[in-house]
A and B are shown apart, each in its own frame.
Chain A
Amino acid sequence: MTNVADRAVFSRRGLLKSAVGAGAVLLIGFDVSRTAKGAASAPVSPFRSWLRIDQNGAVTLLSGRSEMGQGISSALPMVLADELGIDWKDVLVEQAPNDAALFGEQGTGGSGSVAGSWLGLRQAAAAARTMLVAAAAQRWSVAPESCTVKNGAVTHGSSRFTFSELVESAAKLPLPDFNKVTLKKPAEFQIIGKVVSRKDIPSKTDGTAIFGIDVRPPGMLYAMVERCPVFGGKVKSFDAGAAKSMPGVQDVFEIDAVPSVHSWGGVAVVAESTWIAMQARKKLRIDWDLGPHANESSESLRAEFRRVVDSRLKTIINQGDTDAALAAASENKRVEADYELPFQAHATMEPMNCTVLVDGDRAEVWVPAQGPEWVLGTVAEVTGLKPAAIKINTTLLGGGFGRRYHADFAAEAGQIAKKVPGKPVQLIWSREDDMTHDFYRPASYHRLSGAVDEKGNILAWRHRSTSTPIAEWWSPKAAPESSELGCTTQMPYLATNYKLEYLPSKSGVPRAWWRSVEASSIGFVMEGYVDELAHAAGIDPLTFRISKLDSRLVKDPTNKKAVPLDTARLKGVLQLAAEKSGWNAKLPHGHGRGIAAHYSFNSYVANVVEVSVVGNQLKVHRVVSAVDIGTPVSPDGIRAQVESAIIYGLTAALKSQITIKDGRAVQSNFDRFSTLAMNETPLIEVHIVPSTLPPTGIGEPGLPPTAPALTNAIFAATGKRIRRLPVVPTDLV
């Protein structure tokens, strides 16, 4: 890190008037919208990222966004470079230090990095360009409008100044009003929308990329924690004798539960290597207080779900008189269906880890985190140190998918490091720790009732559901349903009567944000069920959907801040996916094609899946995806994210789940939590709708329409309607 984190030189409104270090620089801050979940609410700078131009002309983006594979360390520089007028390759990216006063709240999630940075980043770059042009125009005594900017230089006729020649005088000019700077028109984009080679890839093919688990500060020790296998259990007493006497073991001690981050506490082993810590841990003798959830099982939870869904639920939306319309509908046009989804683990390939050095009244942390600020607050909480005395280094993340938004690992690592002062300690979770102490995608149960008339109109659509809500754990003051309903509060399909009802169910299983969050469940239910209504109406599932999507903006009656759903854009992706997949082309016997579309994170995605079923053997041949995410900033990055989300979604639909027995997770490693293998991976095509609207997210929205397109394809191939995930072979025959 450079000396940029010298706060004295930053002015509150973003322009640096004096020099940082040796060279004069132009430094501009810009605000990007917040997506952080559950983070502390200390006063923060309005600026979350900084654009810096050094005297040698080097352009640096100081970004608080974590790189977890989504390519953000390439997409943001593309936007910056295009607006500023330099080659994309010449933008350096630095992970911003975690200093809320300087860089504001940081957090990477909600598919929000490009969408949230788009305007502010362009305004900052345009402001810098304006200042550089003004500096050049002054020296030439010409009008700024007569100058052009390209490849890091300002030109006027045959005269030319590079940015490095201009930066000193430009930095003395007043900062233009961000709302008045001239932004490039989409037709002028040179880099945005082009295929580029990602900056981070070479370090990921030669082993030099440093993930959190790879940091090796001098003198580092290794730690593991034995936690109660039952959710919510704690240490009653323990005998560390055998573990402590092992060669290479430095210390064994208990660490506390930290309720603010739902960290469980346990017994920590600190050793000279990971392997010694793993072996010593096996020698611990711990008597556990199993807590109140030791009897919970998937079966007991299912019984609870069915009890709740049959009870009087809370009405969230009631348009028309759905109950009466259902009662009046003829039996043969009514569709009753129960849908079920299990808990899912994130299973990032890099298990949770966090390295902390507590040295006197200061601490340093190396952490692969989506929410470094939450890590900062948590380490401060458990060490008693001031946040300003704690330096957070955000490393590369070996997968995130929402799991790394948390700070439970930091609560453990901070406590451990405090007991071993002066030595960095790397806390590593084993795969078993990672899978059995995740914050899982909630399990849920949905009861759908509806009816269509002779012409295929939807007379009634009633969605009653229950789940283990995320809000109960992370926003206890919010209504439990606020985290669970997704697009059901913005019903895109025209229905004469629509009713939405919900109540939470009791469970001790930890839950939180998993890739695409509640859309991963809601997308499956809505798009499976609309397919059932199409079938009941005797209408092709694509035609049926299209006929219910005219041109409307659907607001969310439960959330005024929600961006309205544009049914024309949903229709657009359905039509594109259908066209590219050859929706109407004949398929061989035993094959089937299914379609689904979903709106999540303000983005529109439709997937068409083609399968074949022979006996109980399923093969997924092809997935054709169409996405409308506004301006496509980095097309190959978008394709990669959609391919990724589809495979993650297929794994959850076909292979993986977390089941519960005796209050604990049954699956603990990849032997029983299986993932889609390459020989099961279909060909995936991604088509992007051209657009000049502001960009929206793409890390997650490819996932929700994947499972329903798959099960709709299985229905087309076999006539078997699957309403419970994951699909098992007996569903197919």
Chain B
Amino acid sequence: MAITFEVNGKSKTVEVDPGTPLLWVLRDTLNMTGTKYGCGIAQCGVCTVLINGAAQRSCSVPVSLVAGKPVTTIEGLSTGNTHPVQQAWIAEQVPQCGYCQSGQIMTTVAFLKQNPKPTAAEVDAAMSHNICRCGTAQRIRKAVLRAAAAMQAALPQGGAR
């Protein structure tokens, strides 16, 4: 069955079983491997992408549910690592093995859209459902706050909103 949706601004049509999770369509059908497989049961967050701007676990979203919707993956976040969240990740030297970081970054992007001026406790709560076995949590915490500050500073009128 043909399903059409938008990935990083480009229309894609795939011929797959409609029950196939979006994760495997991205990875195996579209060869977009920046989105990772970690658990398959929406527990670890490494497969997080944005669907209509909201963070979703792509391992547990059948592709039929994204028909006609815009999907953003790590590959579509910016060109040249220029998104403030990516910049903060590099500045804080967050990744170790790096396998979970696409999901961490996409979760952060969605979170900061909802809560542009989070407290440290709000960051902790928002990021507590993404697993990193390398233990980068402390650096992720700093990077999220750094990205929030950078995004506020970049707003017109000095970040008031």
B79 closest partner in A (C-beta): A206
Q: Which of A197, A205, A678, A683 contacts B101 (CB 8 A)?
A: A205
Does the CB pair A214–B33 fall under 8 Å? yes
A331 to B90, CA, bound (A): 58
Residue with the greatest number of chain A CB neighbours at <10 A, chosen from B78, B96, B105: B96
A349 lies within 8 A of B34 (CB): no
CB-nearest residue of chain A to B132 = A349
8 Å CB interface, A380-426 against B: 396-401
Contact of B36 among A203, A347, A398, A400 (CB under 8 A): A398
In this complex, the member of B16, B35, B43, B127 whose beta carbon has the largest number of chain A beta carbons within 10 angstroms is B43
Interface status of A679 (Cβ within 8 A of chain B)? yes
A644 touches B134 (CB 8 A): yes
Q: Give which listed residue, A197, A398, A640, contacts B90 with CB less than 8 A.
A: A197
- Check A684/B97 contact, CB under 8 A, given A430-B40, A671-B41: no
- Answer whether A206 and B97 are a contact pair too, CB < 8 Å, given A671-B41, A677-B129: no
Q: Would B34 and A678 count as touching, CB distance under 8 A?
A: no
Spot the interface stretch: A15-23, A66-74, A176-184. A66-74
CA distance A200 to B90 in the complex (A): 10
Contacting residue for A273 out of B29, B102, B123, B141, CB 8 A:
B29
Q: Is B6 an interface residue (CB 8 A)?
A: no
Instruction: Please tell me if the beta carbons of A399 and B37 are within 8 angstroms of each other in the complex.
Output: no
Q: Is the CB of B138 within 8 A of A643?
A: yes
Q: Which of A182-208 contact B (CB under 8 A)?
A: 197-198, 200-208
On chain A, the residues within 8 Å of B89 by CB distance are 201, 205
The smallest beta-carbon distance between A651 and chain B, in angstroms, is 8
* Residues in A neighbouring B78, C-beta threshold 8 A: 206
Which single residue of chain A is at the shortest CB-CB distance from B95? A204
**Cβ of A675 under 8 Å from chain B:** yes
Contact assessment for B133 and A399 in the assembled complex, using a CB-CB cutoff below 8 Å: yes
Interchain CB contact under 8 A, B133 and A401: yes
Cα of A454 to Cα of B77 in the assembled complex, Å: 67
- B interface bracket (residues with beta carbon within 8 Å of A): 35 or more
Interface pair A273/B20, CB less than 8 Å apart: yes
> For residue B125, which residue of chain A has the nearest CB?
A679
Q: Pick the contact of A644 from B35, B46, B136 — CB < 8 Å?
A: B136
Alpha-carbon distance between A69 and B29 when the two chains are bound, in angstroms: 28
Distance of A222 from chain B, by nearest CB (Å)? 7
Closest A residue to B34 by CB, please name it.
A207
State how many residues of chain A have any CB contact under 8 Å with chain B: 62
> What's the Cα separation between A636 and B81 when bound, in Å?
22
Q: In the complex, what's the smallest C-beta–C-beta distance from A513 to chain B, in angstroms?
A: 16
Q: Does A275 contact B (CB under 8 A)?
A: yes
A399 with B124: CB separation less than 8 A: no
User: In the complex, how many angstroms separate the beta carbon of B75 from the nearest chain A beta carbon?
Assistant: 5
Is B134 a contact of A399 with CB atoms below 8 Å?
yes
Give the residues in chain A near B86, CB-CB below 8 Å: 205-206
* In contact, B138 and A275 (Cβ under 8 angstroms): no
Q: How far is the CB of B87 from chain A (nearest CB, A)?
A: 9
Find B135's partner among A208, A216, A648 (CB 8 Å cutoff): A648
B41 touches A349 (CB 8 A): no
B89 — nearest CB in chain A belongs to which residue? A205
Contacts of B41 in A (CB 8 A): 431, 669-671
Question: Given the known A-B contacts A431-B38, A646-B135, A675-B133, are A274 and B28 also in contact in the complex, defined by CB atoms under 8 Å?
Answer: yes
Q: Which residue of A lies closest to B96 (CB)?
A: A69
Q: Known contacts A636-B93, A644-B135: does B44 contact A398 (CB below 8 Å)? A: no
Q: Is A676's beta carbon under 8 Å from chain B?
A: yes
Q: Which residues of B contact A204 (CB under 8 A)?
A: 95, 98, 101
Q: Are B102 and A207 in contact (CB under 8 A)?
A: yes
Which residue of the partner chain, among A200, A207, A645, A675, contacts B73 with CB atoms under 8 Å?
A: A207
Within 8 Å of chain B (Cβ to Cβ): is A659? no
Chain A window 16-52, contacts with chain B (Cβ cutoff 8 Å), 1 for yes, 0 for no: 0000000000000000000000000000000000000
Does A209 sit within 8 A of B, measured CB to CB? yes
Which residues of B from 53 to 112 have beta carbons under 8 Å from A? 73-75, 77-78, 80-81, 86, 89-90, 93-102, 105
Q: How many A-B residue pairs have CB under 8 A?
A: 181
Q: Which residue of A lies closest to B20 (CB)?
A: A275
B153 interfacial by beta-carbon distance below 8 Å: no
Q: Which of B12-57 contact A (CB under 8 A)?
A: 16-17, 20-21, 24, 27-29, 31-41, 43-44, 46
User: With the chains together, A643 CA to B135 CA distance in Å?
Assistant: 7
| Nearest CB of chain A from residue B102's CB, rounded to whole Å | 5
A209–B78 Cα distance when bound, in Å, is 15
- The answer to whether the Cβ of A210 comes within 8 Å of any Cβ in the partner chain is yes
Any B CB within 8 A of the CB of A211: yes
Query: Closest B-chain residue to A67, C-beta based?
Result: B97
* A338 neighbours in B (Cβ, 8 Å): none
Contact A396 B21 (CB under 8 A): no
Instruction: Determine if A213 is an interface residue (Cβ-Cβ < 8 Å).
Output: yes
Confirm or deny: B115 has a beta carbon within 8 angstroms of a beta carbon on chain A: no
A431 touches B98 (CB 8 A): no
Known interface pairs A222-B28, A349-B133, A431-B38. Does A210 touch B33 (Cβ–Cβ under 8 Å)? yes
Question: Is the Cβ of B138 less than 8 Å from the Cβ of A208?
Answer: no
Distance of B131 from chain A, by nearest CB (Å): 5
Given the complex of chains A and B, what is the CA–CA distance between A70 and B39 in angstroms? 23
CB distance from A678 to the nearest CB of B (A): 4
Shortest Cβ gap from A520 to chain B (Å): 15
By a CB distance below 8 angstroms, the chain B residues around A209 are 98
Check A216 against B31 for contact (C-beta < 8 Å): yes
Given the interface contacts A205-B86, A275-B20, A644-B134, does A69 sit within 8 Å of B95 by beta carbon?
yes
B137 lies within 8 A of chain A by Cβ: yes
Which one of A202, A278, A396 lies within 8 Å of B97 (CB-CB)?
Answer: A396
Residues of chain B contacted by A695 (CB below 8 angstroms) = none
A350 and B40 alpha carbons, distance in the complex (Å): 12
Query: Once the chains are docked, how many angstroms separate the CA of A399 from the CA of B20?
Result: 27
User: Closest residue to B77 on the A side, CB-wise?
Assistant: A206
B17 surroundings in chain A (CB, below 8 A): 275-276
How distant is the Cα of A46 from the Cα of B93 in the complex, in angstroms? 35
Residues of B within 8 Å of A643, CB to CB, are 135-136, 138-139
Return the contact of B137 from the options A222, A396, A678 (Cβ within 8 A). Answer: A678
Q: Give the chain B neighbours of A207 by CB distance below 8 A.
A: 32-35, 73-75, 102
A-B contact pairs, 28 of them (CB 8 A): A69-B134, A197-B90, A201-B93, A201-B94, A202-B81, A205-B95, A206-B86, A213-B36, A214-B27, A274-B27, A348-B97, A397-B97, A398-B98, A399-B134, A431-B40, A431-B41, A640-B93, A640-B96, A644-B96, A644-B135, A647-B137, A647-B138, A669-B40, A670-B39, A676-B137, A677-B128, A679-B125, A681-B135
Q: Which residues of B contact A (CB under 8 A)?
A: 16-17, 20-21, 24, 27-29, 31-41, 43-44, 46, 73-75, 77-78, 80-81, 86, 89-90, 93-102, 105, 121, 123-125, 127-141
* Interface contacts beyond A350-B99, A670-B39: sample of 16 additional A-B pairs, CB < 8 Å, sorted by A: A201-B95, A206-B75, A206-B81, A208-B75, A214-B33, A274-B28, A275-B17, A347-B133, A348-B97, A349-B100, A399-B133, A640-B93, A644-B136, A678-B140, A681-B124, A681-B135
